[in-house]
């Protein structure tokens, strides 16, 4: 489907679910971006879920978002159970504004929801020539190291920096071996998942996506991944006033109330300590790219390079929508 037509459809669907035009546009842009960077698990496959949560009053379509100024650098946002795209868009823009004034922008958000790809917000800061960290917690999926029950979310860690080129350095990774959205996408399409990424509810390895959703996802690096998930739960949940310690509701299965997800954005001017940061990071990347390569590797890539290439390539194409997701789209647009 042509991107322009798809964007109009998504905006119309969100407006029909009582979002104001500007909020509907923010949501549409985020969903289409996920498709363009080849992350469909965070794109159109989630549209029905957001609409269902609005219908069941688990998302507030007309939030009264409050920004509390703590200092010139620090802001605390109560998102009033808005859709996560809107809360995060306001939050990262406020963090950018604060950083431009003082050198550092710190913004905590509570009472939000799932906000899609962290890298999408990091890109906004990097385009303004700023360094950025993004953190958000998520529903239980990973068991703390030594426990039998899932509690931590896949809790992504995201870092971005300008690079003196058009391609930003953006590391956006969940602390699970694969993100939960990919497993949900596989379950929706009837596909298998790779071996070694999840256990079923009985603690046995599984390649069945539906059984994986009922069980436990495995973290990267064993206890290290569990520790990183815990760190993000503290930064995003405990610190901001959001839900934490397994209290974030699953957006697909639990409509008993809002998720109250917490987000944390830290945005930094790159020239706080040295005036030639961009030249230094350029030299850093060039040095690493010149290292001897192992067999089969043509180029050492930094985080964000592949995604940028996919985005540029897909920007010129129509968006391919799987049949069952297209059916959801037609029903929502009816």
**pLDDT tens readout for residues 13-69:** 999 999 999 999 999 999 999 999 999 989 999 999 999 999 999 999 999 999 999
Annotation: CATH topology of 1-55+318-334? Hypothetical Oxidoreductase Yiak; Chain: A, domain 1 (1.10.1530)
| Gyration radius from the chain CA atoms | 20
Query: pLDDT per residue over 200-222, tens digit each?
Result: 888 889 999 999 998 888 898 88
Instruction: Summarize the confidence of residues 248-253 as an average pLDDT.
Output: 94
Predicted confidence band of residue 184 (pLDDT cuts 50, 70, 90) = confident
Task: Look at the alpha carbons of 205, 209, 214, 219 in this order and tell me if their dihedral is positive or negative.
Answer: positive
Q: Do 280 and 142 touch, CB atoms closer than 8 A?
A: no
Closest CA to 53 of 228, 330, 255: 255
**Predicted pLDDT at 334:** 77
Name every residue whose Cβ is closer than 8 Å to that of residue 233 and which is 6 or more positions away in sequence: 137, 152, 153, 155, 244, 245
**Predicted pLDDT at 180:** 84
Rounded Cα distance, 246 and 108, in Å: 19
Q: Is the model's pLDDT at 261 over the cut of 90?
A: yes
**Predicted pLDDT at 148:** 73
What is the share, in percent, of the chain residues with pLDDT greater than 90?
Answer: 84
* From 75-89, 171-185, 282-296, the region with the lowest mean pLDDT: 171-185
**Predicted pLDDT at 267:** 98
Return the CATH number of 63-176+219-303, one of 3.90.400.10, 3.30.499.10, 3.30.1370.60, 3.30.200.20. Answer: 3.30.1370.60
Q: Is the model's pLDDT at 185 over the cut of 90?
A: no
**Predicted pLDDT at 98:** 98
Instruction: Summarize the confidence of residues 283-295 as an average pLDDT.
Output: 97
**Predicted pLDDT at 164:** 85
For the chain, residues classed under CATH 3.30.1370.60 are: 63-176+219-303
The strand pair at 131-136 and 104-112 is best described as unpaired
For the chain, residues classed under CATH 1.10.1530.10 are: 1-55+318-334
Name residue 268's beta-bridge partners: 104, 131
Query: pLDDT per residue over 126-158, tens digit each?
Result: 999 999 999 999 999 998 888 878 899 999 999
**Predicted pLDDT at 163:** 95
Query: pLDDT per residue over 93-111, tens digit each?
Result: 999 999 999 999 999 999 9
Name every residue whose Cβ is closer than 8 Å to that of residue 247 and which is 6 or more positions away in sequence: 237, 260
Rounded Cα distance, 92 and 126, in Å: 11
Q: Is the model's pLDDT at 118 over the cut of 90?
A: yes
**Predicted pLDDT at 188:** 82
**Predicted pLDDT at 3:** 93
**Predicted pLDDT at 147:** 80
Predicted confidence band of residue 306 (pLDDT cuts 50, 70, 90) = very high
């Amino acid at each position: 489907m042509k991107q322009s037509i798809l964007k109009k459809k998504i905006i119309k669907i969100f407006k029909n679910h009582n979002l104001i035009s500007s909020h509907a546009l923010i949501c549409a842009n985020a969903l289409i971006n996920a498709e363009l960077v080849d992350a469909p698990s965070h794109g159109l496959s989630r549209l029905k879920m957001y609409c269902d949560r609005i219908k069941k009053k688990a998302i507030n379509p007309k939030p009264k978002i409050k920004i509390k100024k703590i200092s010139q650098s620090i802001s605390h946002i109560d998102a009033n159970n808005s859709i996560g795209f809107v809360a995060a868009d306001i939050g990262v823009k406020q963090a950018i504004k604060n950083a431009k004034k003082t050198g550092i922008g710190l913004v905590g958000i509570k009472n939000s929801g799932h906000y899609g790809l962290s890298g999408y917000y990091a890109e906004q800061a990097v385009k303004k020539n700023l360094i950025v960290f993004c953190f958000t917690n998520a529903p239980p999926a990973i068991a703390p190291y030594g426990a039998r029950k899932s509690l931590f979310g896949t809790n992504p860690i995201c870092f971005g920096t300008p690079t003196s080129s058009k391609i930003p350095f953006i590391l956006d990774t969940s602390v699970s071996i694969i993100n939960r959205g990919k497993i949900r996408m596989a379950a929706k399409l009837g596909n298998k998942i790779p071996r070694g990424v999840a256990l079923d509810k009985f603690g046995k390895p599984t390649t069945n996506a539906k059984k994986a959703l009922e069980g436990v996802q495995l973290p990267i690096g064993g206890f290290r991944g569990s520790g990183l998930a815990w760190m993000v739960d503290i930064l995003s949940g405990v610190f901001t006033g959001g839900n934490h310690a397994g209290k974030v509701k699953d957006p697909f299965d639990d409509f008993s109330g809002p998720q109250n997800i917490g987000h944390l954005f830290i945005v930094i001017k790159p020239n706080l300590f040295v005036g030639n940061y961009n030249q230094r990071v350029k030299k850093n990347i060039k040095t690493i790219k010149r290292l001897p390569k192992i067999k089969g590797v043509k180029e050492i890539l930094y985080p964000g390079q592949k995604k940028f290439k996919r985005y540029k390539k897909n920007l010129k194409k129509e968006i391919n929508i799987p049949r069952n997701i297209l059916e959801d789209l037609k029903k929502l647009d009816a």
